[in-house]
Amino acid sequence: VKITIIDREGTPHHVDAPTDMAMNLMEVIRSYELAPEGTIGICGGMAMCASCQCYVQSDTELPEKEDDEEAMLSEAFFVRDNSRLSCQIPITEDLEGLQVKLAPSEE
Ligand code: FES
């Protein structure tokens, strides 16, 4: 699916994310190297670090937050109403047209 990811410098990247590889959005961001190594995905996708936080800028229908994502976002920095942990968003056809912006690094 076609997704737009705006990096921390504000540059948009249009990527084609595979739906058949059981990837999540954090892994896609990492695979395209859209954030420096060590500043995203620190907990490995366990909803325990918030380094993968992003702001959802399209009105794409996303899966509801699970309790662990809610809990992590309640403690993280730079959280906004449209914050999500990208590691908790599986890549599916439903994400077509999604636009997200990476939150600033806490490092
Ligand atoms: Fe740690 Fe998403 S990678 S919360």
* ipTM value for the complex: 0.99
Question: How remote is the CA of residue 40 from the centroid of ligand 1, in Å?
Answer: 7
Token pair recorded at residue 38: 């060590």
Core vs surface per residue 25-57: b (16+ CB within 10 A) or e: bbbbbbeeebbeeeebbeeebebebbbbbbbbe
- Domains within the chain, CATH numbers bracketed: 2-102 (3.10.20.30)
Please state, in angstroms and rounded to a whole number, the distance separating the CA atoms of residues 55 and 40: 14
Closest ligand 1 atom to Cα of 45: 3
What would the pLDDT profile of 46-98 be if each residue is shown by its tens digit? 999 999 999 999 999 999 999 999 999 999 999 999 999 999 999 999 999 99
Ligand 1 pocket member 41 (CB < 6 A): yes
Do residues 28 and 14 make contact, with C-beta atoms less than 8 angstroms apart? no
Per DSSP (E only), the strands in the chain are 2-6, 12-16, 53-56, 83-85, 99-102
HSE of 64, CA atoms in CB hemisphere, 13 A: 2
Ligand 1 pocket member 83 (CB < 6 A): no
Ligand 1 pocket member 24 (CB < 6 A): no
Threshold 0.90, pTM exceeds: yes
107: pLDDT confidence band, cut at 50, 70 and 90?
low
3-class secondary structure, 86: helix
